[in-house]
A and B are shown apart, each in its own frame.
Chain A
Amino acid sequence: MSRQAIAYIALLALGLLAPFFIYPVLVMKVLCFALFACAFNLLLGYTGLLSFGHAAFFGTGAYVAGFAIKGWGFPPELGILVGTAASALLGWAFGSLAIRRTGIYFAMVTLALAQMVYFVFLQAPFTGGEDGLQGVPRGTLLGLISLSKDINLYYFVLAVFVFGFCLIHRTIHSPFGQILKAIRENEPRAISLGYDVAKYKLLAFVLSAGLAGLAGATKTLVFKFATLTDAHWHSSGEVVLMTILGGMGTVFGPVVGSTVIVSLQNELADKVGSLVTVILGSIFVICVLLFRRGIVGEISALYKRMIGA
């Protein structure tokens, strides 16, 4: 077995054992955000597109899944699928618009479109407005396993995460992923090689949006709740921060980043109150100024240097 395989297995073992030592709801939250950040990283790290509106997809997944389960009485697995599909569809619509611009404009366009979604959720009759979509039942998985017990739900969430993670892993190592990287490195060159760049960007966008929706839908199950916070631009900013802090364009970066951020928020919220935002903002600034490769990026650079030396 390669060294990498050992790392994967060690991490999985960690994931399997975590709920016996840490409050399972917290670990589930970490997993949901880790998946969200991985989905986002597919776009930023591997395609070079900075979307500042990914909360729209996270929120859409959360609301649609919540409504499907609560309003239509769907079982949880189907509800999550519906939520994911809705996000992917929205991703297709927004992607088609946003990829007409690049760079900074792309970021602004996605941010503005996401804000529109936020207002729709604020006003639409099915979302409960500021109260949120409350009391979503966790239900029974495949009609067999009751998810109302935290521990059962935990393994389901872990499975969803592993599935999403593997899908992303597969994608970036496929020929499709290679073309995305080519676009990131040099777009005109990719065009001159005959690739329909817009199509590839859109596909990446849809995939990323769908997986962000999957993360949001899963979060709804964990907290029995979909709220405006999920769709707020602060969430968009948070996912950017998680990815950059962990290391964009690295496989594990977003997982590390989201673990750090979610645990920080959880630890600090009671101790420093609203200063959490200040701390997160400062981390952001420091990362951008000094550690643009992120935690995982810096460590692997260090490792390479040591091997080289």
Chain B
Amino acid sequence: MTALFDIPIQALMGQLMLGLVNGSFYATLSLGLAVIFGMLNIINFAHGALYMMGAFLAWMGLEYLGIGYWPSLILVPLAVGLFGVLIERSMLRWLYKLDHLYGLLLTFGLALVIEGLFINGYGVSGQPYQIPAELTGGFNLGFMFLPYYRGWVIFASLLVCFGTWYGIEKTRLGAYLRAATENPKLTQAFGINVPLMVMLTYGFGAALAGFAGVLAAPAIQVSPLMGSHLIIIVFAVVVIGGMGSILGSILTGLGLGVVEGLTNLLYPAASATVVFVIMAIVLMVRPAGLFGKEK
């Protein structure tokens, strides 16, 4: 165990912070997946592509229209959400009566199309997005250096995640949503427009992905491949957490980000695989996932 104590506190805190940053992306994305899955019974493979689209729209807004970071943080999720609504209306709705696997396949195809279009337009190397002026620089906390922007990413995504949790668990609209998830026919019978809710849910999930994309743009390279790198880890996160609970997916996302950060410190070679190893272990011990309910 001496190896642990040899590690300078600066490196430890630094990696923990990066882990939290990644964890916030995992949390936001897996939350979106869980919300969509709850309502549509579809695993949205296009989620990574929507996240990438969010980052790219932010970059394009700045590059071509001069729209800055802060307006983008609102406008881009709206645009991506709208795009999600279009997908739901034009394609996904035709698949609800079929095996759920078709939803996965369709969204996989969509992910390829979106990714391919951006690769064709911008190549695979990333585009730089400047950190907004208000957030450049960082605190020197003595034991570590915290860039303001990374701190903001953690704060903003936690805010959105818990806002979503509150909205679903504690508000009337959320209650309708939960009811429609539980029993769509009965909910419809009570006069609630379930197809509309389904559409809005998908739009909202897409918007969450777009939001994460805007948050990520200044922190990493805006590249057409950024989504597909992430989506598979997020799938593993979803399997580990189980999609039963909103809070569960937020906590699992954050937790796994931190675990990854620590692995980076202790045994960097395993940092890319640690999430998948955890997934395998969870599957052996608790196949339904940490927060999942066995159907």
Contacts and interface: CB of A to CB of B under 8 A. Distances in A.
Nearest to A290: B94
Contact of A107 (B101, B106, B112, B117): B101
Nearest to B99: A103
Interface string A92-108: 00000110110111011
Q: Helix, strand, loop or mixed for chain B's interface?
A: helix
Contacts of B102: 288, 292
Interface string B217-245: 00000000000100011011011000000
Given A108-B235, A282-B109, A113 B91 contact: no
Given A100-B283, A285-B110, A107 B43 contact: yes
Nearest to B92: A289
Contacts of A287: 109
Given A109-B279, A284-B105, A285-B91, A276 B116 contact: yes
B120 interface: yes
B236 A112 contact: yes
A292 B106 CA distance: 11
Interface in B225-278: 228, 232-233, 235-236, 238-239, 269, 272-273, 275-277
A120 B283 CA distance: 20
Nearest to B281: A97
Given A116-B276, A278-B120, A237 B108 contact: yes
B109 A112 contact: no
A277 interface: yes
Interface residues of B, number: 43
Contacts of B197: none
Given A285-B109, A289-B91, A289-B94, A112 B276 contact: yes
Interface in B106-130: 106, 108-117, 119-120
Contact of A273 (B100, B120, B276): B120
Given A97-B283, A109-B283, A112-B235, A277 B104 contact: no
Interface string B169-194: 00000000000000000000000000
B38 to A, nearest CB: 13
Contacts of A284: 105-106, 108-109, 112
Contacts of B114: 281
A50 interface: yes
Contacts of A134: none
A112 B99 CA distance: 21
B280 interface: yes
A174 interface: no
Given A112-B239, A120-B273, A277-B116, A101 B95 contact: no
Contacts of A111: 232, 235
Given A97-B283, A109-B239, A277-B116, 8 more contacts: A50-B104, A100-B284, A111-B235, A116-B280, A233-B228, A278-B113, A278-B120, A281-B112
14 contacts: A52-B104, A101-B239, A104-B43, A104-B104, A107-B43, A107-B104, A115-B232, A119-B273, A276-B116, A278-B112, A281-B112, A282-B113, A284-B108, A288-B102
